Amino acid sequence: MDNSSFTIRPSGAYNGVMTTQPTGRFAPSPSGYMHMGNLLATLLAWLDCRTLGGRMVLRMEDLDPVRTRPEYARALAEDLRWLGMDWDEGYPDASYCQSARTALYEAAFHTLEEKGLIYPCWCSRAQRLAAASAPHPGEAVHDPRCRCAYLTAAERAERIAAGRLPAWKVRVPDETVTVQDCHYGTYVQNLAREGGDFIVRRADGVFAYQLAVSVDDMLMGVTRVVRGRDLLSSAPRQAWLIRTLGGTPPEYCHLPLLTAAEGKLSKRLGSESTQRFRAEYDPRDLVGRLAALAGLLPSPEPITPRELLPLFAWNKIPTDDIIISQ
């Protein structure tokens, strides 16, 4: 990748290649082995993309050097293949690994900086959470921004000189963004009052998920984002970031989360699971179990992702979270 000539290009362009084809993505974080929840998200992302005749990308979200490991990335890719899912571009090509894309995030950060949207923030995590909590009914609506947004240049210089490394936040406008989620329908969020300014670069220099995922979805020409509904509230800020950087946001399709009757997915169906599944299951049994949980089959029966294609429809999938017994 020629980083020196990098400019933010509209959606549909990646490394100079324009595509009008629908494009989906797997975007796993290699910080552990896949569990049933991840597997369901990847299966629906693959079915959604292939039903549309789309191109599939496998992007490794390995930005965090402390939490992610190359062996998990390898295992995730093997799991997808073992289950019968394929992709057209991506891992193990390093240019689809976030750890190798820092120059692109740097360029996007710089674009936001030039627009006057970036400021340093010295708040602790606890202060940030307190500032982000919504005012109670009847309370005056308070300014959700932390004080760092209003520091003078001299005050900033003083803090920097004292050696305290800041995180970097993007200043969002008082704008209401509407996302048409293909499964949950219209989702409306006021960026300033409900989301608030958010971190795009951590104090240790690592770019934050929100920036990296937006830049990548834009530059990889992603047109369909299929993922768990815990990320639905991030969709408006990602759509706004992409538009601010000159791109076109993808369509978002969120899916219900898998939860255990006991409240939390246990270790058995938890982080060590695909390793265990590969030893104990036929992949077709596992796909059948996932398909039944998602409402695509009346009951579990062995099936491949490809055989599921004619049975896939978003309106069969529940919107309430799916409870599994363990």
Q: Which is nearer to ligand GLU, 63 or 121 (CB)?
A: 63
Are 60 and 80 in contact by the 8 Å Cβ rule? The answer is: no
Q: How many residues bind ligand GLU (CB under 6 A)?
A: 7
Query: Least separation, in Å, of the C-beta of 157 and ligand GLU?
Result: 36
Query: Least separation, in Å, of the C-beta of 282 and ligand GLU?
Result: 26
Structure tokens at 252: 């978002």
Query: Least separation, in Å, of the C-beta of 92 and ligand GLU?
Result: 17
28 CA to centre of own chain? 8
Query: Least separation, in Å, of the C-beta of 295 and ligand GLU?
Result: 21
Query: Least separation, in Å, of the C-beta of 234 and ligand GLU?
Result: 7
Interaction of residue 223 with ligand GLU, rule CB under 6 A: no
Burial code of 176-215, b = ≥16 C-beta within 10 A, e = fewer?
ebebebebbeebebbbbbbbbbbbbbeeeebbbbbbbbbb
Interaction of residue 224 with ligand GLU, rule CB under 6 A: no
Q: Of 35, 128, 227, 254, which lies in the binding site for ligand GLU, with binding defined by CB under 6 A?
A: 227
Interaction of residue 213 with ligand GLU, rule CB under 6 A: yes
CA nearest neighbour of 237 among 166, 179, 181, 167: 179
Of 25-33, 101-109, 154-162, 258-266, the window that binds ligand GLU (rule: CB under 6 A) is: 25-33
Residues 298-317: x where in contact with ligand GLU by CB under 6 A, - otherwise, as a string: --------------------
Helix (H) or strand (E) holding 109: helix 102-114
Q: Which is nearer to ligand GLU, 118 or 232 (CB)?
A: 232
Distance CA 168, CA 146 (A): 12
HEC letters along 72-90: HHHHHHHHHHHHCCCCCEE
Residues 58-77: x where in contact with ligand GLU by CB under 6 A, - otherwise, as a string: ---x----------------
Structure tokens at 20: 């009008």
Are 89 and 96 in contact by the 8 Å Cβ rule? The answer is: yes
For 244, phi and psi rounded to 5 degrees? -65, -30
Distance CA 31, CA 105 (A): 21
Q: Of 132, 182, 231, 257, which lies in the binding site for ligand GLU, with binding defined by CB under 6 A?
A: 231
In angstroms, the Cα distances linking 206 to 62, 71, 103, 142, 166 are 11, 21, 12, 30, 12
Query: Least separation, in Å, of the C-beta of 228 and ligand GLU?
Result: 7
Interaction of residue 28 with ligand GLU, rule CB under 6 A: yes
Interaction of residue 27 with ligand GLU, rule CB under 6 A: yes
Query: Least separation, in Å, of the C-beta of 231 and ligand GLU?
Result: 5
Q: Which is nearer to ligand GLU, 169 or 227 (CB)?
A: 227
Query: What are the strands, taking DSSP E only, across 73-166?
Result: 89-90, 118-121
Are 226 and 54 in contact by the 8 Å Cβ rule? The answer is: no
Q: Which is nearer to ligand GLU, 257 or 324 (CB)?
A: 257
Of 23-31, 75-83, 150-158, 275-283, the window that binds ligand GLU (rule: CB under 6 A) is: 23-31
Residues binding ligand GLU (CB under 6 A)? 27-29, 61, 213, 227, 231
